[in-house]
Amino acid sequence: MMPLRRALVGLGCALQLLATQGLAQASAAELGAEAAAIPIIDAHFHVMMWIDAPSLVEHMDRNHISMAGGVGGGSLPTIVALGERFIRPTGMGAWLGLHRKLDAADFENPETPAVRSALAMIEADLRDRGARVIGEIHVNALTTTQEPANRFKTPADSATLKAIFALAGQHGRPLNVHAQWDTDTVQQLERLADSFPSARLVLAHCGSNSTAGDVREMFERHANVCCDLSARGSPPLRGRTVIFSEAGLDPRWQRLIEDYPDRFVVGIDTVHDWQEYDGVVRAIRRGLLAHLSPETARRVASGNAEEWFGLR
Ligand SMILES: [Zn+2]
């Protein structure tokens, strides 16, 4: 989409939110202007092929972002150059590769030789190669991803995914899944969460098209389910519903985040130029963090990511 058209769509969306929901405005109990410089860990960031390391470091520094990553990316030289500031993930490429090459029955069976070797590779990454998270694992992105190759749906409670979640649990690392809010997918996610209650299951984009009520029900039933809030700011991305914009935060989500301050992290996800990158960070700061209490904002901005990924 052209930048001007994007901006107009974003503005229209923000105004619509403002008109229909009554956005939370910064008050004394909220972080407010201090959100402009609070340190951020970008927990869901794809290092796209166009991104070079010097520019990324410059934009991270300027935006007070200490670390970024947590999901698969394309530009290996940039990732290597980022060094300790990259949150190393594992499993995304292997998962997509298996899905491309296997039929459904083989894909869902952890005893299939190709699946077994992928599981062994993921385990070695977690155990020996500093991987801090498994993700992003696309489970159901039928209508909620920009990437055509990732628009598929597979059961969230398959034996293969349960085996991957068990690896996450055994190594004390989270599993990040892209699962949009279809009724059957949600039921499967609940079974996945229950299959290893001490493992952390992170919903990428907090379910993409979920409501605050949907996520609240999930949180109430499953203490190990959490969310990254990437790609839920304005302008809306393919099929995802907007929670916040530079104008403010949906009050239902504000209440949810304050009620569960240890269940959320932020992320920039996929961007196509630096203008877009800076805009996404601005929306996270002004639209989301500024409207949280200072303690909640600190956790969502960086504290939870430090804990989940073992960065302290
Ligand atoms: Zn992503």
- Residue 19's pLDDT is 39
**Residue 71 alpha carbon to ligand 1 centre in Å:** 7
**Residue 269 alpha carbon to ligand 1 centre in Å:** 5
Q: Considering only the C-alpha atoms of the chain, give the largest distance between any 2 of them, rounded to a whole number of Å.
A: 58
Residue numbers of the chain with a pLDDT score lower than 70: 1-28, 236
- Residue 131's pLDDT is 97
**Residue 174 alpha carbon to ligand 1 centre in Å:** 15
- Residue 239's pLDDT is 74
**Residue 85 alpha carbon to ligand 1 centre in Å:** 18
Which CATH architecture fits 38-309?
Alpha-Beta Barrel (3.20)
> Do the Cβ atoms of 194 and 167 come closer than 8 Å?
no
**Residue 45 alpha carbon to ligand 1 centre in Å:** 7
Report strand pairing: 248-249 vs 244-245: antiparallel
- Residue 148's pLDDT is 87
First-residue to last-residue Cα distance in the chain: 39
In angstroms, the CA 110 to CA 162 distance is: 9
**Residue 62 alpha carbon to ligand 1 centre in Å:** 23
In angstroms, the CA 251 to CA 18 distance is: 11
Q: Per-residue pLDDT tens for 260-289?
A: 999 999 999 999 999 999 999 999 999 999
**Residue 35 alpha carbon to ligand 1 centre in Å:** 24
- Residue 28's pLDDT is 57
> Do the Cβ atoms of 114 and 64 come closer than 8 Å?
no
Q: Per-residue pLDDT tens for 215-267?
A: 999 999 999 999 999 999 977 677 788 999 988 999 999 999 999 999 999 99
Q: State whether residue 263 is helix, strand or coil.
A: coil
Q: Would you call the peptide bond into 136 cis, given omega within 30 degrees of 0 as the criterion?
A: yes
Q: Which of 50, 135, 92, 58 is nearest to 305 (CA)?
A: 135
DSSP 27-55: -TTS-GGGGGT--EEEEEE---TT--HHH
DSSP lists the bridge partners of residue 162 as: none
**Residue 28 alpha carbon to ligand 1 centre in Å:** 34
- Residue 2's pLDDT is 37
**Residue 44 alpha carbon to ligand 1 centre in Å:** 6
**Residue 147 alpha carbon to ligand 1 centre in Å:** 10
Report strand pairing: 175-179 vs 133-140: parallel
**Residue 229 alpha carbon to ligand 1 centre in Å:** 11
Tell me which residues have their CB within 5 A of the ion that is ligand 1.
136, 269
**Residue 128 alpha carbon to ligand 1 centre in Å:** 25
Amino acid, single-letter form, for residue 53? A
**Residue 46 alpha carbon to ligand 1 centre in Å:** 6
**Residue 90 alpha carbon to ligand 1 centre in Å:** 13
**Within the chain, how many helices (H) and strands (E) appear?**
13, 11
Q: State whether residue 149 is helix, strand or coil.
A: helix
Looking up tokens 């379910």, which residue turns up? 207
**Residue 136 alpha carbon to ligand 1 centre in Å:** 6
**Residue 267 alpha carbon to ligand 1 centre in Å:** 9
**Residue 69 alpha carbon to ligand 1 centre in Å:** 10
201 φψ region: left (φ > 0), alpha (ψ -120 to 50), beta (else): beta
**Residue 29 alpha carbon to ligand 1 centre in Å:** 32
**Residue 294 alpha carbon to ligand 1 centre in Å:** 27
- Residue 27's pLDDT is 57
Q: Which residues of 219-236 are buried (b: 16+ CB within 10 A; e: fewer)?
A: beebebbbbbbbbbbbbb
**Residue 217 alpha carbon to ligand 1 centre in Å:** 24
Strand residue runs (E) in 23-132 = 40-45, 65-70, 86-87, 89-91
> Do the Cβ atoms of 126 and 173 come closer than 8 Å?
yes
**Residue 213 alpha carbon to ligand 1 centre in Å:** 23
> Do the Cβ atoms of 206 and 44 come closer than 8 Å?
no
**Residue 276 alpha carbon to ligand 1 centre in Å:** 15
